[in-house]
Structure 1
Amino acid sequence: MAPQIHLLVAIHGMWGNPDHLAALVREISTIAATDEFELNVLVAETNRSEHTYDGIDHGGERIVVEIDERIKSLEETGAQKVTRISVAGYSLGGLLSRYVIGILHSRKFFEKVKPINFNTFASPHIGLPRYPSLLSSIVSAVGSRLLSRTGEQFYGTDRWSGGKPLLEIMSETNSVFYEALNLFPQLTIYANAVHDTTVPYITAAIDTVDPFVDHEKRGLTVKYNSAYKPLIESYATGQPEEAHPRQRKPLFPPALQDLGFPLNVILIIALPLFLPLIIIIVLIRFSLDSRASRKRIKLLEADKHRASGWLSTMLQDINQEVGDVVADIAGAPDDPDDPEAGTSLCRRIPKDQKAHPILSKSQMRMVANLNTLPNLKRQRAFIHPELNTHGVIICREEKRFESHKVGLGVVRHWRDNFQL
């Protein structure tokens, strides 16, 4: 008798492609089949590159179609049956994962297929927070527009249902998304403790206070997990300077280090001359991709046959009038420029931690709700020194950058704790 199928769905991040998950797939594929279960890995294909602009909801719907097709393909001969499912998402893929399992739960999928492992890596669970700086304010304002529907959802400026942003709806304890998360007995999120300039610790770890802010100045000491470095076993602050020697940060980012001298020096010198041109090109590309995304979204939402069975349509149709009334009474979602938005959080931040992000009231509610998940566990990766650890945590570019191999300890911890 053939073993039952345990389907693992792996989902990449913003602007990503399946190749970004190569290390995850390689490591998890070393898990040997048993007499009872066999692992089958589905790496989501339909949200490549610019299609990640189309929103967490529309992207999640595409992935559910892929899951349906894979299960149909596996079971069409009648020799095998999918009886277990796990989900792993990197960056934006973590939010897509949460939406996907919400759709599956709404369809009673988990009554027939048992949920086992749910994991995210450097995912912005409460959106992208704003920092007390002019640059951060500009990026928040521009990002919500240049990244189309996904940008609006990242920064909580959307009204997805009942006048609330999607990420807040997904965190509410009576939502199908929360209920679906609660069904997974193995629920672990991996977050970069430091140097993740894309998805900061506070949103990846679903926390309200970042204990790693200004870690070098505060004399933070870290004890690594001996088997899975760079994961943290424990940490402490306020230790003597000699207990945590200052590590020298790399002079060049990985790409320039790999070029070698003198080419990397030449490029550094030339960068100020080309930087304005690079910024203009990037902004134009973002604008074009966002415009194309909005056209795709209009076509999707105009397709009545497609729209009839999706949560994004059902909930929005049901709550459209209610949402307008709620918005008129309570106001729009939290304004990131509202000086009161982060008041409750700011009272808890030590005065010496100036680099701490400002959380909106909506984000504070998300943290409070998600932290009631009984099976939720956190693993923190301390990758230092590094200019940006966002891709390192999953060895995203290990073939191009030697430094990305540092993340193997994280990937292998996930593999070794994966329940087949």
Structure 2
Amino acid sequence: MATADDAAALNAKLEQAELLGASMTRRIHLLVLIHGLSSAIRLRVHALFDDYSGMWGTCEHLEELANTITEVHSNPPSRSGSRLDAGVELDVLVAQSNQSVQTYDGIDWGAERVVGEVIRERIQAIQSSGDTVIRFSITGYSLGGLVARYVVGVLHHADFFAAVEPVNFVTIATPHLGIPRYPTTVSSIHAVLGPKFLSRTGEQFWAMDKWDGPDGRPLLDIMNRRDSIFFKALSLFPHITIYANCINDTVVPYLTAAIETEDPFLAHSVNGIEVSKAILASRKLDERYSPIIESYRLPDVPPPPPPQTRLLSLAYIESLRRKIFVPSVLQARWPFNINRTTVRFQYGLVHGSVPVRTGSLRTVAPLLIARLSLDSRASRERIRLLEANTSRSDYLSSSLGRVEDAGGVSKQDNDAYAGLRRPAPMANGNAGARGFHLENPDEAQETNFQIEAISPRLTPLQLQMAMNLNSIPQLKKKLAYIDGVVNSHAVIISRDVKRFEVHKKGRGVVRNWAESFVL
């Protein structure tokens, strides 16, 4: 017969077993990384154009992000302040369900694919192993940032955050305001061809889509309204950070990446703007985070314009050499620029049917345009089939598309934004609690004619989106000043350090992102 002592001993053993079982259950903080706009054409022009193909991306481009944050948080107890409490492990998912030309299918359909990958694949796999996802964070690069904002809207609509705590939301070089229009011929051409060649995604970039019906509003408009599910979901995250390039981003310029209505860096080469690098609490420059800047200021008196170089002089030719982009494989003369990668490029571009002489851009360009047209047509056919699918009611775009509050920019909004349409340039800026702000707004300088001539013209809708997003109190902005490069869009995430030495310039940004991550 069992005695009371035996029962107490048995209970102690059971309690110990329960504790042991609980200790074997991992508590997971899931981090999702989302890449930017991809294209099957990138696989064909990789060797020739990759160092300038800022919009073309794959999962491999996030390798530096994934490796760095895994390294930084591989032993979280050793990093004070990097976690909310002990016993939480980081699990990194680089989303792969939206690669290649599928990114042409729109922010919404791309996000739906990523949600399926997160819920039906990764989280179910974690739960089936007896572990639990208790926290969720997401980081999106370029287009991936917009996809991330839609993803959290879908998750919030499904009550995902009732059981899982949202923690970090980060975007890097993301066009939050869409693509701004500049008073240039190139910008006008992009605005016409982009929505055609990039299918639904292009229409959403330039706010030409009607997401919630034939007479509806653009998706970016809906996502940035304070009463939308997307805006509410974004506001749930206690740590919201956006990284933006100050200069040299020819894909996602400063205004839209930093959610600003004026650009003090637009004429950085002539306006005398001064920048300071990231600073630690000790007020010493922290080279680890270079090229992130702590502050910037414009001089009280603009510097004199640089002397004009004489036409065809050595200085003139040197300035052209710095401005004109030359693909890496064309920097040697014919025929020494032939190698295995360029031959593979020729074969892949035309599927082996038409040989292309390396370096003949006049031949390549029409083929690229033709390929983009075919990819866009294929995307529109995929979208048609998706929208015709009887199970489409499961998607957020169907359940919310006509439920969101209707209406465009009101007269009151227009009156409020009227004074922002031609804002004075920033004077002095500092990185405060929410990012960069004016130290002395009353001292803003007059814009000279040359700068005014190239300044973008933000629409009332873009001004409204900027105002709404900047109203989020926990939103912080970090700026990267990457000079000496043709296009900083790829450099900011160190997209391909194996092939391009210059991409290492962005490692300070990646390091800052990883070490600022709250586990």
Output the amino acid matched with 1:295: E
Q: Evaluate the alpha carbon distance shift between residue 265 and residue 124 of structure 1 in structure 2; reply closer, same or farther with a 3 A threshold.
A: farther
Tell me the SS of whatever aligns to 2:421: helix
Matches within 5 A, 1:16-415: 16-30=57-71, 31-34=73-76, 35-68=86-119, 69-78=121-130, 80-161=131-212, 163-225=216-278, 226=286, 227-238=288-299, 250=322, 253=325, 255-256=327-328, 274-305=360-391, 307-318=392-403, 344-346=420-422, 348=424, 350-352=447-449, 353=451, 354-415=453-514
Structure 1 unaligned blocks of 5 or more: 335-340
Match of 1:338 in 2: none
Aligned residue for 1:93, secondary structure, equals helix
Q: Distance in 1 between matches of 2:390 and 2:460?
A: 35
Q: Answer whether contact 1:214 1:355 (CA < 8 A) is retained.
A: no
- Offset of residue 251 of structure 1: 6.5
Q: Distance in 2 between matches of 1:252 and 1:311?
A: 45
Taking the aligned partners of 1:342 and 1:142, their CA distance within structure 2 comes to: 29
Q: Distance in 2 between matches of 1:303 and 1:309?
A: 10
Aligned to 2:439: none
Q: Deviations over 1:142-188 (max 9, x none)?
A: 10111100000000001112721001100111111111111111110
Q: Deviations over 1:316-366 (max 9, x none)?
A: 3547xx96xx68x99xxx9xxxxxx99842254624423221111111110
Cα offsets for 1:288-336 (capped at 9, x unmatched): 000000111111111111x1121211223547xx96xx68x99xxx9xx
- Give the secondary structure class of the aligned counterpart of 1:131: coil
* Number of equivalences: 398
What is the TM-score with the length of structure 1 in the denominator? 0.88
Give the 3-state SS of the residue equivalent to 1:308 in structure 2. Answer: helix
Distance 1:254 1:58 in 2: 36
Contact kept in structure 2, 1:4 and 1:38, CA below 8 Å = yes
- Structure 2 contact 112–395 (Cα < 8 Å) conserved: yes
Structure 1 position 262, deviation (Å): 5.2
State the shift of 1:229 in Å: 0.3
**Alpha-carbon separation, structure 1, partners of 2:226 and 2:135:** 24
Superposed structure 1 runs of 4+ greater than 2 Å apart: 32-35, 238-242, 247-256, 258-267, 271-279, 315-319, 341-344, 346-352
Structure-2 change in CA distance of 1:399 and 1:365 (3 Å): same
| Matched letter for residue 27 of structure 1 | T
The 1:259/1:157 distance shift into structure 2, 3 A limit, reads: closer
Q: Is this contact kept in 1: 2:330–2:359, CA < 8 A?
A: no
Provide closer, same or farther for how the CA distance between residues 63 and 404 of structure 1 changes in structure 2, counting only shifts above 3 A: same
**Which runs of no fewer than 5 residues in structure 2 stay unpaired?**
1-22, 39-56, 77-85, 279-285, 307-317, 339-356, 426-446
Q: Secondary structure at the match of 1:346?
A: coil
CA distance 1:254–1:67, change in 2 (3 Å): farther
Match of 1:9 in 2: 32
* Deviation of 1:263 (Å): 6.4
Distance 1:92 1:216, change over 3 A: same
Q: 1:355 to 1:265 in 2, by over 3 A?
A: farther
Contact 2:331 2:337 in 1 (8 A): no
CA distance in 1, matches of 2:359, 2:124: 55
Cα deviation code 1:197-241 (max 9, x no counterpart)? 000000000000011011010011111122310001111112786
Q: Does the 8 Å CA contact 1:6/1:83 hold for their aligned counterparts?
A: yes
Separation in structure 2 between the aligned mates of residue 347 and residue 47 of structure 1, nearest angstrom: 38
Q: Is the 8 A contact 1:9 1:41 kept in 2?
A: yes
What displacement does 1:33 show?
4.5
Name which one, 1 or 2, has greater alpha-carbon Rg: 2
Structure 1 pair 152–75 and aligned structure 2 pair: CA distance change class (3 A): same
Partner of 1:212, secondary structure, is coil
TM-score (norm 2): 0.71
Name the CA distance, whole Å, in 2 between partners of 1:48 and 1:251.
32
Q: How far apart, in 2, do the equivalents of 1:200 and 1:144 lie?
A: 18
Please tell me whether the aligned partners of residues 87 and 119 of structure 1 are also in contact (alpha carbons under 8 angstroms): yes
Corresponding letter in the other structure for 1:32: S
> Percent identity of the aligned residues?
44
What whole-Å deviation, never above 9, does each CA across 1:85-140 have from its counterpart, x for those lacking one? Answer: 10000000000000000000111110100001110110000100110112211110
Q: Does the aligned pair in 1 maintain the 2:292–2:479 contact within 8 Å?
A: yes
| Root-mean-square deviation over aligned CA pairs | 2.9
399 and 273 in structure 1: CA distance in 2 versus 1, 3 angstrom threshold? closer
Partner of 1:358, secondary structure, is coil
Identify the range of structure 1 (14-23 vs 32-41) with the bigger mean alpha-carbon deviation.
Answer: 32-41
